[in-house]
Structure 1
Amino acid sequence: MKLKRCFDLVAGLIGLCLLAPLMLLIACWVKFDSPGPALFVQQRVGRHGVPFAIFKFRTMAHDGTAGNVPRMWPAPCITRAGHWLRRTKLDELPQLANVVLGQMSLVGPRPELARYVACYPPAVREKVLSVAPGITDWGSIKYRDEGSLLAAAADPERTYIEDILPVKLAFYQRYVDQRSFWMDLRIIASTVSTLWR
């Protein structure tokens, strides 16, 4: 969809320019709050199954293994800055660079780790990976407190795979079937409204 890509590129560039001062302040805070880089880079699965490096502000203590650890655990490793960044979702801002690079869209199924994509039923995997992953979608809005849900679970990984992921996949498939420019605008507006509240 040419309109979608054009919108993503323009909005991504504008967002990076306007938010650059805020992102610089956040990067400095992350650096001074705990040892390690300001950015967290992790391999995710993109459109057509092509892996890419997703960018986030680092929210966990840096020990050299974070690249293979999901964002939801281990909770004790979350930094002071990380707690606030996760709660406000500002740790996701660097993904605007992924959008500009064409690896992601503003709206679309959230990109997952390869080991979770391996849990998708084959037909679902083909459909979900037929579009570019996004920064936000209906599933992200519903599970905006996902970290809290998983922190309360006896087995977070099993809870994610068996309880949360199937619901997310239903949202992803619905998006692929019904996607349009106007739906993207609705999702963006709903995301901003949810975060503001």
Structure 2
Amino acid sequence: MKKSFFVIPLSFLAHILIVNITLYALTPATYLNTFSIIFLNISWFLITYSLDFYPTARRESFGQSLKNFFKLYLLFGLVYFTSFAFLKPYSYSWQYLFLVYLVICSLLMLFRIIFYWSRNLVRTKEYVHTRTVVIGRDKNLKKIRRIFDIPKYGYRYMGYFDNSESNSPTYLGTIENSYDYIFKNNVEEVYCLASRLSKDEIKHLMNIADNSLKKIKIIPDNKELFSRAMSIELYDSVPVLNLRASPLDLEYSNLLKRIFDIIFSSFAILFVLSWLIPVVFILMKLDSKGPLFFKQKRHGVNKNTFWCYKFRSMAKNKDSDTKMATKNDMRITKLGRILRKTSIDELPQFFNVLKGDMSIVGPRPHMELHTRQYETSVEKYLVRHFLKPGITGLAQVKGYRGEIIHKSDIINRVRYDIFYMEKWSILLDIQIIIRTVTNIFVADKNAY
């Protein structure tokens, strides 16, 4: 974004004003303590700086910034309540202080929405467009053109250069012609497709850019290996491409997910399973012979084997470790049909979650026999084993649960599992949990 160096200080100033004006208007006694105000303002600066909260990336959207916003809310909330805990809450109740905190969060969110709306509006104006050209032509040209053609990003695509002539209306000439064109047409950003340029040509373009205030960006030769999940890491000065990156690769993400799992599973065990287990035990004894729990070896993260627990829903049989439940399966007991229809049979897996073998949300674990079968017949099947299996998952709430009748059933299940791994967030976990609960009250044709 042109003149983006103004965006960070202005956004920071606007946020600081929102925080301070709200506190002054709703908790004026706060300003009787100078240290309190200094503490809150410095904390805001340190938190936003550590989160890199004010990026100027042209393609960052409001949705992409939400994750950072919620991290900011959490960290600043801790600082906010800590300041009152140590500096006295004056005459304000904790309930009132919490409402003030919600007002601050709401105003900050409103400002952020207005900011992105106005930024996108401004970028549609011709005078703020960034003039760009592409040097080289391969399969990536069409892909990057789609980005340039989105008005809210503020690009003005001039055309491309390549040594292979073309009748395309956007073809501007050979790579040699690009050098003069960049200067004469005030091109601001130059995108070079490395697959079509020699080392000397790239160096020459870099020299031109460095000596003329032009930005040059290199699109590497991807050999068609790139994916949306990739990330680039620097090992000293060597760029290393990670083709299967996930938010859960980050330590804090794993820690956050684990804390959520422990709290949620502990709550479920204490307040649900504590009374449900005796009830199911009595009903099961009246319904059929056999143990209360059914346990089975399944594959988890990194294909490690663990014992997965469920309420027993079938009569004892020799096919339990080799054959999935099917529609009108004669092995399922009367009580078992109810347990399976409502997914209550899965609830003992909260013990697996608390133990650490599973997560609340993740790919459903399969029995060992099926893992061996699908890892050789279904492409990318083992990718789902990069993370812990879950009691519920994205594939399940999208309808891919239960018996696998057609090959497309397992293929689509794997696709959703990989999508979940690549796009994980606590918010996504909560959405899947809510959807799982609501599905209990809706007739699911695959729940049997």
Query: TM-score range, shorter-chain basis?
Result: 0.7 to 0.9
Find the counterpart in structure 1 of residue 266 from structure 2.
Answer: 13
Q: Deviations over 1:73-92 (max 9, x none)?
A: 78011100011111101000
Larger Rg over CA atoms: 2
2:276 and 2:415 map into 1 onto residues whose CA distance is: 34
Structure 2 vs 1, CA of residues 22 and 34 (structure 1 numbering), >3 Å: closer, same or farther?
A: same
Find the counterpart in structure 2 of residue 131 from structure 1.
Answer: 387
Secondary structure at the aligned position of 1:75 is classed as coil
For normalisation by structure 1, the TM-score amounts to: 0.86
How much has 1:117 moved relative to structure 2? 1.9
1:87 and 1:31 map into 2 onto residues whose CA distance is: 19
How much has 1:57 moved relative to structure 2? 0.6
Secondary structure at the aligned position of 2:414 is classed as helix
How much has 1:123 moved relative to structure 2? 6.7
Secondary structure at the aligned position of 2:295 is classed as strand
Q: Tell which deviates more after alignment, 79-88 or 24-33.
A: 24-33
C-alpha contact 2:306 2:357 (8 A) present in aligned 1 = yes
> Which of the residues 349, 356, 379 maps onto 1:95?
349
Give the counterpart letter for 2:371 in structure 1: V
Please say if 1:178 is aligned against 2:431: no
Give the counterpart letter for 1:91 in structure 2: D
Give the counterpart letter for 2:361 in structure 1: V
Please say if 1:140 is aligned against 2:396: yes
How much has 1:141 moved relative to structure 2? 1.6
Alignment of 1:36-75 (within 5 A): 36-63=290-317, 65-72=319-326, 75=329
Find the counterpart in structure 2 of residue 27 from structure 1.
Answer: 281
Give the counterpart letter for 1:133 in structure 2: P
Q: Tell which deviates more after alignment, 63-72 or 39-48.
A: 63-72
Find the counterpart in structure 1 of residue 361 from structure 2.
Answer: 107
| Aligned-residue RMSD, C-alpha | 2.1
1:37 and 1:103 map into 2 onto residues whose CA distance is: 22
Q: Deviations over 1:88-137 (max 9, x none)?
A: 01000100000000000000000012232231368724421110000111
Could you say which structure has the higher helix fraction? 1
Structure 1: gaps spanning 5 or more residues: 151-156
1:4 and 1:27 map into 2 onto residues whose CA distance is: 32
Q: Tell which deviates more after alignment, 112-121 or 27-36.
A: 112-121
Task: State, as a whole percentage, how many aligned pairs show the same letter.
Answer: 30
Secondary structure at the aligned position of 2:366 is classed as coil
Aligned length: 186
Bigger relative contact order, structure 1 or 2 (CA pairs below 8 A, ≥6 apart) = 1
For normalisation by structure 2, the TM-score amounts to: 0.39
2:295 and 2:327 map into 1 onto residues whose CA distance is: 16
C-alpha contact 1:42 1:68 (8 A) present in aligned 2 = no
